[in-house]
Structure 1
Amino acid sequence: MANLEPAATGTTNNSYATILRSSAVMGASFAIVMVFSFVRMKFMAVWLGPSGVGLLGVLSTILDLCVALAGLGVQQSGVRQVAAAQSDVARDDVASAIRWLSLGLGVVGATILLITALPISHLTFGSDHYVSAVAILGLAVLLRILGGGQLALLQGLRQISILARANILSAFASTAICVPMVYFWKEQAVAPVVVVMAGVTAIVTWRLGQRFVPSSRAAWPQVATESKALVHLGLVFMASTLLTTGAAYLARLVILQNAGIVGAGLYQAAWALGVLYSGFILQAMGSDFFPRLSRIANDDAVSNRLVNEQIRVSILLAAPGVLGTITFAQLVMHLFYAAQFEAAADTLRWIGFGTYLQTLAWPAGFILLAKGAKRPFFWLEVSTAVVQVTLMVVLVPIYGHVGAGMAFCLMYLSHTAAVTYLAKRASGFAWSRDNALIALGYLSVIAAVFAGFYLLEALQALALGVTATVLAGCFSAAALLQLVPVAALPPIMRPLASRLR
């Protein structure tokens, strides 16, 4: 496998080591959080069935949409403003503005959702049966925005270890509280569970982060000035988030209208599992790769080399997991949920295929953000949302919740093509020859395994999938070991890495 040229900030091998190290750190914390999350979801699936899981997914999507609207992007802009503050006084001004702005926006968002609960229930569910559930979400809006403000301060101050601990403790506490609630109250507990999860995150984040946050109070004129800057910058972030969450809400709406609450539950379960493996890869991109890329964004050659390095690692990490997801879809739906969720196995396979395309597209997409290309990025998000909703409208009435999985996969097919084109215009980006060959090779294998479950006998398809997963895992492991300096590996792995070179 050919090596890339050394990057400006160090050797290519050291760059690969940095990418893999950040992926491992994020993956470890993400894995712990997911264990608690799926324990919680397992009990909900057993006690509530697909309809309860569907209700949880729809209510969570409504909450995400309301938080995106009411939050005005302050959490995202707050991270940037805190990090950019040049003095303790300036940092205190931004911190005070974030806190007061989060409180005000949270109260406004909660009030608006409470007032509009009836029309939202009619629009989403076609009846007023869930008015109280939607109204209860108002409290979750307030808590999410307050917690988001605290998270922005911690991220801006680069308290990564505290953020990781907060995520783990929040997941543990949410599971410990929500599981008994679901056991005793059944479906009536779904909306309160959403509120509890938002509340636990807010409390844990504030408690752990209090000693790291500037405590002095800024004067009101400074608060007003910083608030204006936060909102002005936040509107750009809000537009992107709103498109994503709005498309997700409309997608759930289409599923509800055509496949009912049970179909929504099956899709929600498949989606949660489908994006599980790719989640830590994408998180690592946002937390480590994006800042690294931003620092060198003005040097197109170095930026493009770094993006190709990230793509290489993403492909090698993602492909075996995607193959495993497609191969064992029916088993994992039963294992993580319940027997009645096995009907979502095909949906999970389509979503798994889509996540492979997603990991191909994301690194190049960060070029637009790093260069501040707001307009191309905005229209990319618009086109992606339109494609997703259009595909949902066309496919869900025909194929039910499986059609929603198809839409997810096809949406990322078009998204990957669009991102590659826009990245080329922004920086002259092009895939390296090695990356293109590896990506196409894995794409062919994934497509063959995927097709096997529709064209072959069950045992034959399973055998093909297991073989492909094992071979892909071995190839990826060997390739990743070749990318990292031997000295950077744990001692137990160094002899094997030396033999592979």
Structure 2
Amino acid sequence: MFCIYVKITMEKRENNNSYSHILKYTGLFGGVQGLNILIGLVRNKLVALILGPEGMGLVSLFNSTIKVVSDSTNFGIAMSAVKNISESIELGDEERLHHVIGTVRTWSLLTALLGMLLCMALSPWLSDWTFSWGDHTLHFVLLSPVIALLAVTGGEAAILKGGRHLKALAVVSVYNMIFALLCSVPLFYFFGQAGIVPSIFLMALMQCVLTIAYSYRLYRPSFSFSRQHFQEGEGMIRLGLAFVVAGIFGSGAEFVLRSYLNNVAGLDIVGLYNSGFVLTMTYTSMVFSSMEADYFPRLSGIRQLGGELNLTVNRQIEVSVLIISPMLVFFMVSLPVVLPFLFSREFLPMQGMMRLTLLAMYFRAVNLPMEYIALSRGDSRSFLFLEAAYYVMFLLLVILGWQRGGLTGTGGALLACTVANFLMVLVYVRWKYHFWLSGDVLTNTMVQVLLGLVACFFTFSLTGVTYWLMGAVMTLASLLFSIRILHARTHLWNSLKNRYFQRFRKK
């Protein structure tokens, strides 16, 4: 039995880093993320109609406070545990794997209890800090079990990611989205704002139950509170805390920036900047969402620096750039239609900022796979250094960009910051981990960046029919280039034809 397990593990290792595998799971999680966005739009629209702006604000405040408490008390286990589990999978040691899973579950349970008790204890202060009116202490006490549920869910999701059970993760995500829609809307309709707290709890409970159901079916329940388990979890906690601290850096930088813009420009500019930034990140997450679920576990399973690690990172970069590039050009060109559709014509002034921010996403597609190298090695200091350096640059450059060029200047600053971060990360990982970008990846990335730059220039300089004509040409050029390279790498058409004929024969 163990020999079969090792053989399967080795076969998976050979296939997991192929272009076809990367393309498959980028498409899978991209599709799930796209569905998430669509269901989220429908849900937000219905909730906005039922609760109005005040109710939406209340939901946002509760959710953001829960996120802060959860992120501060879960020790980053949802991220750091993936590395330990992936390493056990690659070693083919089933006994060690179940031992590591027991450690993860034990620490997840402890952080769940810690987070819940801390939320209860801090409820009066959370009410005062979050709201300037009324007493919401009881609401936060009732929401404290949500912190525990999120911690347990994070640990079990890490087990699924580390164990490479990606289809199970996708299924859980889809079911959770559908339940969130079917649960929250009726509660809000019948109970109004009184249904907000129950809906948040029920959604967290459903997500936890679904994740546990899949995880426990694959790996039997196991907990241990021995000293050995606590000691073995220390490395995982150190890496997780680095992830938490990096998140605090990011939240702090965003808070300072929004406060600055609010003081010097007003709430309308804050709203435009935030909408443009969030919309860009949400759109591109359709490609980037697969990195945490699929790429990071694969990278963590590679024990040594060198050829295999370089190959894995280069292939992830190449597929990410080729998939996201046509999407960026299309989105850049279609902003005059998309913004009034999603928001209103009052949001059109953020077009310039968004176009330049979309250009920055080319470099983000290269940066992210390289930044995961430090996490996959358990190198918390390098990860923190890179994150801290980025957020310092981000804050200084965006403030300078606003002073020099207004809202569009903030987009230019985001582009400059991302390019500078790309160069810094590239030099650092070359020095620290002996990683280098392959010639093919550099060439293909430069071609797509050039097409993006030309498209961006056209969107700033052209109007009318010429705008749409050249926009269509640039989108098509980027798409055809990506298809040609992906076809050469994956034999895309043959794979699609074989799959079609197999289904046809079954019928």
Scaled by the length of structure 1, the TM-score of the pair is 0.80
After superposing the two structures, state which structure 1 stretch, 185-194 or 297-306, moved more: 185-194
Pick from 490, 496, 501 the counterpart of residue 484 of structure 1: 490
Return closer, same or farther for 1:418/1:42 CA change in 2, 3 Å cut-off. farther
Pick from 31, 37, 42 the counterpart of residue 39 of structure 1: 42
Secondary structure of the 1:417 match is: helix
* Alignment correspondent of 2:504: none
Amino acid at match of 2:95: Q
* Alignment correspondent of 1:116: 125
Task: Say yes or no: does 1:22 pair with 2:25.
Answer: yes
* Alignment correspondent of 2:103: 94
Given that 1:105 and 1:145 are in contact with CA atoms closer than 8 Å, whether structure 2 keeps it comes out as no
Task: Say yes or no: does 1:104 pair with 2:113.
Answer: yes
- Tell me the C-alpha RMSD between the 2 structures: 4.0
Give how far 1:480 is off. Answer: 0.9
Name which structure has the greater RCO, CA cutoff 8 Å, separation 6+: 1
The CA distance in 2 between the partners of 1:264 and 1:87, in whole Å, is 50
Q: For structure 1, list consecutive stretches of 5 or more residues without a partner in the other structure.
A: 1-8, 122-126, 496-501
Amino acid at match of 2:157: L
Amino acid at match of 1:270: G
1:413-464 per-residue CA deviation (whole Å, 9 max, x = no partner) reads 2221111111211233333333323322322222232233333325433332
* Alignment correspondent of 1:358: 364
Alignment of 1:114-193 (within 5 A): 114-117=123-126, 120-121=129-130, 128-129=132-133, 132=136, 136=140, 140-180=146-186
* Alignment correspondent of 1:385: 391
Pick from 434, 443, 449 the counterpart of residue 443 of structure 1: 449
* Alignment correspondent of 1:4: none
The CA distance in 2 between the partners of 1:221 and 1:427, in whole Å, is 34
1:278-300 per-residue CA deviation (whole Å, 9 max, x = no partner) reads 32332323333333334445242
Task: Say yes or no: does 1:64 pair with 2:67.
Answer: yes
Identical pairs, percent: 22
Given that 1:58 and 1:249 are in contact with CA atoms closer than 8 Å, whether structure 2 keeps it comes out as no
Alignment of 1:415-434 (within 5 A): 415-434=421-440
The CA distance in 2 between the partners of 1:46 and 1:265, in whole Å, is 20
Alignment of 1:297-308 (within 5 A): 298-308=304-314
Give how far 1:361 is off. Answer: 1.3
The CA distance in 2 between the partners of 1:450 and 1:49, in whole Å, is 37
Given that 2:75 and 2:111 are in contact with CA atoms closer than 8 Å, whether structure 1 keeps it comes out as no
* Alignment correspondent of 1:325: 331
The CA distance in 2 between the partners of 1:469 and 1:130, in whole Å, is 52
1:469-493 per-residue CA deviation (whole Å, 9 max, x = no partner) reads 1221122112211111469612179
1:315-351 per-residue CA deviation (whole Å, 9 max, x = no partner) reads 2111100001111113222333455544543443233
Amino acid at match of 2:425: V
The CA distance in 2 between the partners of 1:153 and 1:288, in whole Å, is 12
The CA distance in 1 between the partners of 2:479 and 2:390, in whole Å, is 31
Give how far 1:173 is off. Answer: 1.5
Give how far 1:261 is off. Answer: 5.1
Secondary structure of the 1:283 match is: helix
The CA distance in 1 between the partners of 2:18 and 2:177, in whole Å, is 32
Pick from 311, 325, 346 the counterpart of residue 317 of structure 2: 311
Return closer, same or farther for 1:108/1:348 CA change in 2, 3 Å cut-off. farther
The CA distance in 1 between the partners of 2:343 and 2:185, in whole Å, is 14
The CA distance in 2 between the partners of 1:228 and 1:349, in whole Å, is 44
Given that 1:487 and 1:494 are in contact with CA atoms closer than 8 Å, whether structure 2 keeps it comes out as no
Task: Say yes or no: does 1:75 pair with 2:81.
Answer: no
After superposing the two structures, state which structure 1 stretch, 208-217 or 160-169, moved more: 208-217
The CA distance in 1 between the partners of 2:49 and 2:403, in whole Å, is 28
* Alignment correspondent of 1:5: none
Return closer, same or farther for 1:426/1:52 CA change in 2, 3 Å cut-off. farther
Given that 1:78 and 1:152 are in contact with CA atoms closer than 8 Å, whether structure 2 keeps it comes out as yes
Q: For structure 2, list consecutive stretches of 5 or more residues without a partner in the other structure.
A: 1-12, 89-93, 502-507
Return closer, same or farther for 1:149/1:260 CA change in 2, 3 Å cut-off. farther
Secondary structure of the 2:18 match is: helix
Amino acid at match of 2:132: D
Given that 1:81 and 1:94 are in contact with CA atoms closer than 8 Å, whether structure 2 keeps it comes out as no
Scaled by the length of structure 2, the TM-score of the pair is 0.79
The CA distance in 2 between the partners of 1:130 and 1:247, in whole Å, is 29
